[in-house]
Amino acid sequence: MAGVVISRIGTFLWTVPSLSTDEPRPSDAYSEKRIDRLREVLNQDARVITIADDDYPYPKYYRKIFYPSAHETDRNEILGASDGFSVFQFLPSVQFQVQVPVKNQPKHENFDDIPSDNYWVNWDGITVVVGWSQDGEDIPLSGGHVVEQVLRACLEKMGDVLRVQGCSPGCKYLFLHTPILAVQGGGDGDTLVEFRKPEQGSTRHVEALVNVPGDCSEVVEDIALELRGAAEDFADLKTSSRRLIDLEHIARAELAHLLNHYYMFARLSMLPAWRRAFKYWVNRHWKRRARAFWRLFGCAWPISRRSAERGRRLECLSLNLPSRVTVV
């Protein structure tokens, strides 16, 4: 492993509008065609200089449902749970090498610290791992962001969309905020990669103890294999938890509206009959709002179970594998 390998993990969602949300999983024929097309457009991109061979004999394909943030949808779609979009996940992941001159790469918040013109990328439709080699251990903020442009351009050629899931709806950083510094050896050898907090110095990153010697591409692949499950659970936990927060905001607004109706009805008993009839007519839609309020619970229940399950899986991973740390 020449030099130091730095890796970043992100949630880059391959959104496929043509993939029906009613199908439990895409067919093998459809999926293989999409993967072949992806490799074709990657090969046509001048910034992609290498695509690793795919010789895995038992590929798997999945359709996952994610939800947009509240500012990208509206109240009725949230209540009807009709705004979920299909994400196409595939295993094994595709691994490729991107080469772009430093001067042509995007910066993060104008931080002029782009570390390399060469990146290795491992992507499975949900989780992306981007890694590069550098001489020192100073971790930049702007490295690897050009990969998002490459994947977005390739998916647009296919008629699909790339959605980047940030840590929060307002966050513009493309990756998780904790990078990974690869360290050769030092583990117990039971796994390809083990993760730990740095013994000294910065707490802005975690260390990956690489037990099998390899170059940058192999380190990126090993990190992706070890963290893919946890990263997917974390992405699912974020989308379901954000949807629960959106439902909670709507529920509070609906409850306040209903309480205002109930207060008006309580005051009507003190008014003359002719005025009560007019006020009842003005507030005639309160039953509709009450039904919408109770419908919120029907929407929130399955999403709450999904969020809790993902949270338990991440917690079990943290408890059962103490040598690892959760990358957030």
How far is residue 172 CA from its own chain's centroid? Answer: 13
- Note whether 174 and 145 are within 8 A (CB): yes
Residue 215 resides in a domain: yes
Residues 254 and 174 in one domain: no
Q: If you count DSSP H runs as helices and E runs as strands, how many of each does the chain have, helices first?
A: 6, 11
* Average pLDDT for 144-165: 95
- Note whether 151 and 162 are within 8 A (CB): yes
Residues 200 and 267 in one domain: no
- pLDDT digits over 31-55, tens only? 999 999 999 999 999 999 999 987 7
Residues 184 and 309 in one domain: no
Residues 83 and 215 in one domain: yes
Last residue of one domain, picked from the residues 172, 193, 228: 228
pTM: 0.83
Top mean pLDDT of 113-117, 156-160, 283-287 is at 156-160
Check whether 196 has a pLDDT greater than 80: no
**Residue at 99: amino acid letter:** Q
Last residue of one domain, picked from the residues 228, 252, 268: 228
Check whether 308 has a pLDDT greater than 70: yes
Residue 197 resides in a domain: yes
DSSP calls for 123-169: E-SSEEEEEEEESS-PPPSSTTTHHHHHHHHHHHHHT-EEEE--SST
Element (H, E) at 273: helix 273-282
Residues 16 and 102 in one domain: yes
Check whether 291 has a pLDDT greater than 90: no
Check whether 200 has a pLDDT greater than 70: no
Residues 153 and 216 in one domain: yes
Residues 222 and 248 in one domain: no
Q: Which of 193, 197, 33, 220 is nearest to 132 (CA)?
A: 220
Residue 208 resides in a domain: yes
Last residue of one domain, picked from the residues 200, 228, 256: 228
Residue 130 resides in a domain: yes
- Note whether 138 and 116 are within 8 A (CB): no
Higher pLDDT, 116 or 71: 116
Domain hosting residue 248, numbered range = 241-320
Check whether 199 has a pLDDT greater than 80: no
Residue 328 resides in a domain: no
The strand pair at 94-99 and 118-123 is best described as: antiparallel
Q: How many structural domains comprise the chain?
A: 2
The average confidence (pLDDT) of the chain is: 82
Residue 90 resides in a domain: yes
